[in-house]
Amino acid sequence: MMNEQEALALIATNRHEKQVIRQTILTTLDLLAALCRPADQTVDPDQVVDAERIRWTYEGLEVAYKRLAELEGKEQELYGLVERAVRQQEASKQAFIAGYDARLSDLEAKASGIEYAQLRRLLHTLRTDKQLPF
């Protein structure tokens, strides 16, 4: 499973890869636009449509699509990591609360009459005032 540093590295890598993919797609779209231009508008003989340019354009789009699919998979893994971290944080919080409540019950059980009354007042003050009374 991925740790926090690996997750941050994956985010940085994904950002860079998306920029590369974006540039590849834009370049390929420019080439396709040139290929789709009517023949009478083509001035430069290098812009004449040939099978090699069409194949290169297709391969460029295919590579960009595959890389994008890989990045989406990595993003899904990252989202899963974030979801897991949130669930772990919530479970830890619930465990702390349960332990705190259990410890209070334990303290109450061990307290004598006067100590019990003082403890109950202190706990009531803490729950209502949200400030320590000392």
State residue 22's pLDDT score. Answer: 84
pTM, 2 dp: 0.50
State residue 101's pLDDT score. Answer: 78
State residue 37's pLDDT score. Answer: 64
User: What's the CA angle centered on 40, arms 38 and 43, to 5 degrees?
Assistant: 105
Give the separation between CA 83 and CA 96, rounded to whole angstroms: 20
Contact residues for 49 (Cβ-Cβ < 8 A; gap 6+): 35
Please report whether residue 15 resides in a domain.
Answer: yes
- How many structural domains comprise the chain? 1
CB 104 within 8 A of CB 33: no
Please report whether residue 101 resides in a domain.
Answer: yes
Please report whether residue 102 resides in a domain.
Answer: yes
State residue 39's pLDDT score. Answer: 57
Identify the segments of the chain with pLDDT beneath 50.
none
State residue 49's pLDDT score. Answer: 59
Please report whether residue 11 resides in a domain.
Answer: yes
pLDDT tens digits, 69-90: 888 888 888 888 888 888 898 8
Please report whether residue 36 resides in a domain.
Answer: yes
State residue 54's pLDDT score. Answer: 78
- Domain holding 116, by residue range, is 4-129
Please report whether residue 134 resides in a domain.
Answer: no
